[in-house]
Structure 1
Amino acid sequence: MTKRSDTLETVLLVVEILRRIPRKPHWTTASQLHEQLTNCGFNRDLRTIQRQLEMVSSQMDIECNNTAKPYRYRWLEHTQGLAVSYLTAQESLLLRLAQEHLRDLLPAHLMRAMKGLFEQANRTLGPGGTAKLEREWPGKVRVVATSQPLLPPKISPPVFEQVSEALYGNFWLWLDYENAKGRSSEIKVMPLGLAQQGSRLYLVCRYPDYDNERILALHRMRSAKASTLTFTRPSDFDLATYDDKGNFGFGDGSQVYLRFQITEIAGHHLQETPLSRDQQIESAAPGWLQVSATVVDSALLDRWLRGFGADVQAIEKSDVEPTDAVRDADDIPPAS
């Protein structure tokens, strides 16, 4: 394959820079663009990006705020910026769905880096575009609630940005945190994972000198600041395994052997969607089923059982070996 010339490489670099320069009221800097381009595979030094920005801002409708360093750049008001037809209708649809459903699960800087792509996808799927069937698709699919829907709690954008950046870069994180009882603490944590549960976001973390995990609600974080100090991510932690053990179920992660009786009508779905791999269903009294399974004991399990009302009876639980998980604990150790 023929190697691309330096001229073509420079042209592609300039195009990528122009695509990432935001419109009013947002600004970007050479350092921010350098980081985005490095993530995209453009291995150029910061000075090269600065030179290209100086050139394009002098030749195109790009505003440069040079009143203080670092200089900031954006397209002038009423300009269209640069739209390059890289995205097909199908790619635009995937980006639209990703923007809608993953906005709280991606690092803030990656969402900013993809802003130009999201805008291009929205233009492709807009009323003036030709992608009629793709434009209609988001109205044909929906993620529906499995319980009473609630409005999401308010999360401070600066808090989310600092939390996601600390999680992304393996930085220690300083928090001003207020727990469910209204007790505030200034704490230092090692961010390990971010989980969305219904309308809420939770940070899985560890405290200094502790080897067990805690779960903190992002909406209870009054302030957050990512440190410049990194940590080595624990090799014994895996977010998927942590979830599989039921730690997001408002419990301590301990398992129980559950037995209960349920009416045939109410329990029919358990034959299609079992509680666990070892679930057993047998006939009980006429019109009733006997169900047994090893499950994680939690408030969610109890709530689920209560939801059947009189259709569930004879509930029994036998203990299984517990774990040491803690959820939003009140015994927050002092910050080091």
Structure 2
Amino acid sequence: MPKRPDTLETVQLALELLRRIPRNRKVSAADLHVQLTNAGLSRDLRTIQRQLEMLSEHFGIERDDSSKPYGYRWKEQASGLSLPVLNEQESLMLALAEQHLRNLLPASLMKSMEAFFQQARTNLGPHANGKRGREWLSKVRVVSTTQPLLPPKIKPGVFEAVSNALYANCWLDVDYKNAAGKRKDARVMPLGLAQQGARLYLVCRYEGYANERSLALHRIVAAQASTLTFERPAAFDLQKFDADGRFGFGDGKLIRLTFRIDKEAGLHLLESRLSLDQEVKDAGDLFEISATVVETAQLEWWLRGFGDQVSDVRRAPVASE
């Protein structure tokens, strides 16, 4: 006699499937199988197909069986699955997370969460009751401190391969073309992902090397996650990598920077300091600023951006502790 499935597991599977069935497009059993697997719910494809057949009989779910694979979606007049745990505030949080964390979460996780994002959008839609939450989305914005640039195009499949390998601590095979146009195939150890303005960078170690490098995702021609895993280096710290100025094209060298700046141009430095030990002296029409900073190319570009409003720039090395 076949083993009877656990009732709680069956109910959990049904709820997860109902959550992930979209309203404005169709999804196949195979797609839902991938979403559930990425979310940590391992079920075989046939079980999911049986559940979908049962759910389409008892809920307002449309099954398109005109061709294989069958497609499932909520019927136009169906209310869908609206669980009390996804209230207006949580819908707002998910909507903002989808906007601002899309490139900082594993692609597999984003795909597994698609039904929740869809439900959040529905809860905040023009025909829903979430008016204040919908208005809030138009009341907040992340603004750029530099000239806004359109993000460079990333080759199809690259972000998915990179983020999944980073998430699972798997070696990554890449075909990379540097800024000079030179292409090279390499196996790298993915250690971190950073968004700098409109660009995404992968921090990694090349196989056989112990130093970190940054690869621009838009320069990766192709990427494939290996099935081989690695032990993440305990000494690597992405926060320290950033603090050392590595994303600003530096090598972590600290200097004591001193310069003079017109008061009007330098007023913001009294509000947003260069460092915790920044010192400011009043010099008539100028401020004399002194701060310990990391020496980077980005720092040089920043200073040059002030033109003749900045003068008497001095740099003194800081002894390492």
TM-score range for the pair, normalised by the shorter chain length: 0.7 to 0.9
CA distance 1:26–1:200, change in 2 (3 Å): farther
CA deviations 1:143-179 (Å, max 9, x no partner) are 1110111111001230110001000100100111000
User: Tell me, which stretches of 5 or more residues in structure 2 are unaligned?
Assistant: 1-5, 57-61
Check whether the contact 2:154–2:218 (CA below 8 A) recurs between aligned residues. Answer: yes
Cα distance in 1 between the residues matched to 2:48 and 2:297:
57
1:273 aligns with 2:272: yes
| Alignment correspondent of 1:296 | 294
Check whether the contact 2:260–2:313 (CA below 8 A) recurs between aligned residues. Answer: yes
What residue identity is the alignment partner of 1:227?
A: S
Q: Alignment partner of 1:157: what SS?
A: coil
User: Tell me, which stretches of 5 or more residues in structure 1 are unaligned?
Assistant: 1-5, 323-336
CA distance 1:55–1:310, change in 2 (3 Å): closer
CA distance 1:320–1:308, change in 2 (3 Å): same
| Alignment correspondent of 1:166 | 165
CA deviations 1:107-160 (Å, max 9, x no partner) are 111001110000000001000011111100111111111011111100123011
| Alignment correspondent of 1:54 | 50
| Alignment correspondent of 2:59 | none
Q: Alignment partner of 1:155: what SS?
A: coil
1:12 aligns with 2:43: no
Deviation at 1:84, TM superposition (A): 2.5
| Alignment correspondent of 1:316 | 314
1:32 aligns with 2:19: no
Deviation at 1:24, TM superposition (A): 4.3
CA distance 1:9–1:265, change in 2 (3 Å): same
| Alignment correspondent of 1:307 | 305
Check whether the contact 1:57–1:64 (CA below 8 A) recurs between aligned residues. Answer: no
| Alignment correspondent of 1:129 | 128
Cα distance in 2 between the residues matched to 1:230 and 1:28:
29
Cα distance in 1 between the residues matched to 2:39 and 2:261:
58
Q: Alignment partner of 1:202: what SS?
A: strand
Deviation at 1:34, TM superposition (A): 4.2
Q: How does 1:1-336 map to 2 (within 5 A)?
A: 7-21=7-21, 24=25, 26-29=27-30, 31-38=33-40, 46-47=43-44, 50-57=46-53, 60=56, 61-62=62-63, 74-75=71-72, 82-86=80-84, 87-284=86-283, 286-320=284-318
Q: Alignment partner of 1:243: what SS?
A: helix
Q: Percent identity?
A: 48
Deviation at 1:289, TM superposition (A): 1.7
Q: Alignment partner of 1:234: what SS?
A: coil
Q: Which is bigger in relative contact order (C-alpha 8 A, separation at least 6)?
A: 1
CA deviations 1:222-257 (Å, max 9, x no partner) are 100000000000000111111111111122332221
CA distance 1:53–1:28, change in 2 (3 Å): closer
CA deviations 1:11-61 (Å, max 9, x no partner) are 2321112322457465452752442452xxx5xx534x6324324325624
Q: Alignment partner of 2:93: what SS?
A: helix
Q: TM-score, normalised to structure 1's length?
A: 0.83
Cα distance in 2 between the residues matched to 1:196 and 1:203:
9
CA distance 1:28–1:224, change in 2 (3 Å): farther
Cα distance in 2 between the residues matched to 1:77 and 1:135:
23
Deviation at 1:78, TM superposition (A): 5.6
What residue identity is the alignment partner of 1:252?
A: D
RMSD of equivalent CA atoms: 2.5
Q: TM-score, normalised to structure 2's length?
A: 0.87
Cα distance in 2 between the residues matched to 1:65 and 1:278:
70
